[in-house]
Structure 1
Amino acid sequence: MDVKITGPYNYLHVIERLSYDPIRVIDKEKNGVMVPINVYGKDVVASVAFSGPIENPNCHIQLPSGYEEEGIRKIITIFQLEESLQEIANHFLHTDLAKFFRVNPGLPLLCEFDLYYCVMKTIIHQQLNLSFAHTLTERFVKSFGKDQDGVWFPPTPETVSNLDYEDLRKLQFSQRKAEYVIDTSKLIASGELNLDELKLLKDEEAIEQLVKIRGIGYWTAENILLFGMARKNLFPVKDIGIQNAVKNLFELEKKPTVEELLTMSEQWSPYKSYASLYLWESLGNQKARS
C-alpha cells in the first residue's frame, strides 16, 4: 500500500537516524527499513520504503496478507506519517528557532518500533557513551529476542522477567542496570505497569507513574514519552545536549539554568518536543537520541 505524505517529511533523516541502531535492517539505496511489529498478537515484519521529494514524498508499506489494516496503522504511528510538520514549522517561524526549521524542514518525532523496547533501551542507555550503549542493546536483543526472516524482534517482558541478574551481567551490564531492566520487566509482565494504559495518560500523569519505578528518573521518563509515544510538548531541561544547544544558539558564556530553560521554552509550546529535536540536531548530535 502507498501512503501519500503531506510534506515536508525528511525521510532521508529518518533512514539515517534508524541506521544508528545496529539491530535494525536498513536499505539506504532504496530508503527502506524492515520493521518488526506485533499485529493481532502475532509478530510480523513490515517492509517500509520512501521515495520522491521530501516536499511531497510517498511511503510504500508491505505486510503479510491479513495484517495490512492494523499493521499500516501502526507504521503510520511509528513514522508519524499523518503529522502536519508544516503546521508545526509555521509555529516556529515566529520564534528564535526559526532558522533551524527553515534550514532543515520536515524532521518527524520518530517512535521506537515497540514501547517496551523503548523503555528497556532508555534504561540501558543511561549514563553510557553511545557506542557501548548500542553494544549493550544489541547484545540484549540478540541474546533474548528472536530472529524472524533476518529481522530481530526484542524480547518480551515475560522473557526478561524470568532472567537472573547474572544473565545480564554476562553481557557486561552493571549489577544495578541488570536490576533495573529485569525488575521493570517484572512490573510490566505482571500488569502492575500497563504500557497500554500509560499511553492514555497525560504527560505529567504518565511521568508520575514512571518515576515511581526504581531506575527511572524524570529524564528517562521524558525520553520514554518522547521516543516511545511521540508526545509533542516535552522539553527535557536537564538534558546536557539541550543545555549545550541553547548555550550555543544564544552565545551564552555558560549553560542556561533549568529555570531559564523553562521560561525560554514557553514560546515553543505546544510543540516543545520539536524544539528539543531541532536543538539536538543543531549539535550534530541527533545520533545520541536514537
Structure 2
Amino acid sequence: MWEETVSVTPPYHFDKVLERLSLDPLNAVDLTARSIKVPLRTRDGKLSVITVQAKGTAIDPVFLVSGETDREEMIERIKHIFQWEQPLQPVLDHFSKTNLSALFEEHAGTPLVLEYDVYNCLMKCIIHQQLNLSFAFTLTERFVHAFGEQKDGVWCYPEPKTIAALEYQDLRELQFSMRKAEYAIDLSRMIADGALNLAELPQLSDEDIMKKLITIRGIGPWTVQNVLMFGLGRPNLFPLADIGLQNAVKRRFALEDKPSKDLMLQVSREWAPYLSYASLYLWRSIE
C-alpha cells in the first residue's frame, strides 16, 4: 500500500468536483469523507482502485492519494483525470471580463474533470445519446454491472475486448435500442481489432480527432466534442447541439426561446480559448 500527498495550485474546489461526480451512480463518491475511489486499469490490464481524498481547501488544495500498486503510473493518471496540472486562475481571470463573470465567480475553482478512460468516455457518450439524463445513468449502470468488473466495491467499465465479443441481443436485453447496441459493439470491435487506436488520440489535434472519429457509425459531432472535453481534457469545445447547453444559455441570458446556433455562437464569442470551461459551468448552472 502506498500513499502520496499532492498539493495543487489554487483555486481548486474539490467539493464541487465531488458534488458533480456524485450525480453518476457509478462513481464511488463519499461526500462526508471528501473522497472518491477511482478504478483504473494498469498498462497490462490489471484493475487497481485509487483513493483520492481532499485534505485542504479550495484556496489551499491538498490531496492524499493512495493505492496498492503501480504508484508512479497511477499518480500521473490521477493528476491528469483531475486536471491538477492545469491552473484555473487564468481561466477565472479570462471570464471575469466576459458575460459569464457572475457564473464563474459562483463556481470558481471547478476544474474540467475527465472520465477515467477514453474508451469509458466513448461508451458513456454512445449510451447517453438522445436519452434523458436519469435513464442514461440507469442504462450505463446496467451496462457496467453486466459486463464490467468490480473491485473493493467499485465498478469499472468493461474492456473493449469484452464488449467486442458480445452479440447485439446481449445489449438489447439491457434495453439498448438495436442501433445503440450496434454502435457500442461495432466500435468496441474496431478498438479490439486495432482498427482504431485510442492511445494515439492525445497526440492529435482537435480537428484531426474529429476527422478520424466522425467517420465511425454512431459517432457524430456531439460525441466527438464530449470525448475531446471529458476524454482528453481539451479546453476549447462548445457543443452547440447540446440540449443542456441550449437550456443553460436560455436561462442565463433570460431568453424567451431556445437559442439558435447563430445566437449560441454570438454569446460564446468572447469565451475562447476556454469554451470547454464555459460549457462545464453552464451545465453546472442547471444540474
Please state which band the TM-score falls in when normalised by the shorter chain: over 0.9
Match of 1:173 in 2: 176
Match of 1:250 in 2: 253
| 2:220 maps to 1:213 | no
Q: Distance in 2 between matches of 1:225 and 1:197?
A: 13
| 2:139 maps to 1:112 | no
Q: Distance in 2 between matches of 1:24 and 1:275?
A: 24
Q: Distance in 2 between matches of 1:256 and 1:93?
A: 23
Specify which of 89, 93, 96 is matched with residue 92 of structure 2: 89
> Aligned-pair distance for 1:248?
2.3
Count of matched residue positions in the alignment of Structure 1 and Structure 2: 283
SS in 1 for 2:216: coil
Say which is worse superposed, 86-95 or 23-32, in terms of deviation: 23-32
> Aligned-pair distance for 1:250?
2.3
Q: Which runs of 4+ in 1 moved over 3 A?
A: none
Q: Distance in 1 between matches of 2:249 and 2:20?
A: 22
| 2:23 maps to 1:20 | yes
What are the superposed Cα offsets for residues 57-103 of structure 1, whole Å, 9 maximum, x if unpaired?
111101224x1111100000001111111111001111111111112
Match of 1:187 in 2: 190
Specify which of 55, 58, 66 is matched with residue 59 of structure 2: 55
Say which is worse superposed, 241-250 or 109-118, in terms of deviation: 241-250
Q: What is the aligned-residue RMSD (CA, Å)?
A: 1.3
What are the superposed Cα offsets for residues 10-31 of structure 1, whole Å, 9 maximum, x if unpaired?
1111111221222222222111
Match of 1:30 in 2: 33
SS in 1 for 2:231: helix
Q: Distance in 2 between matches of 1:171 and 1:201?
A: 35
| 2:204 maps to 1:201 | yes
SS in 1 for 2:114: coil
> Aligned-pair distance for 1:252?
2.5
> Aligned-pair distance for 1:264?
2.9
Q: Distance in 1 between matches of 2:154 and 2:245?
A: 33
Match of 1:288 in 2: none
> Aligned-pair distance for 1:53?
1.7
> Aligned-pair distance for 1:277?
0.9
What are the superposed Cα offsets for residues 191-242 of structure 1, whole Å, 9 maximum, x if unpaired?
1111111221111211121111111111111111111111100011111222
| 2:145 maps to 1:155 | no
Query: Gaps spanning 5+ residues in structure 2: where?
Result: none
Q: Distance in 2 between matches of 1:11 and 1:110?
A: 10
Q: Distance in 2 between matches of 1:152 and 1:249?
A: 36
Q: Distance in 1 between matches of 2:48 and 2:61?
A: 25
Match of 1:164 in 2: 167
Q: Distance in 1 between matches of 2:150 and 2:170?
A: 19
Q: Distance in 2 between matches of 1:20 and 1:253?
A: 29
| 2:80 maps to 1:77 | yes
TM-score by length of 2: 0.95
- Matched AA of 1:214: R
SS in 2 for 1:2: strand
SS in 2 for 1:229: coil
Query: Gaps spanning 5+ residues in structure 1: where?
Result: 286-290
Q: Distance in 2 between matches of 1:249 and 1:132?
A: 26
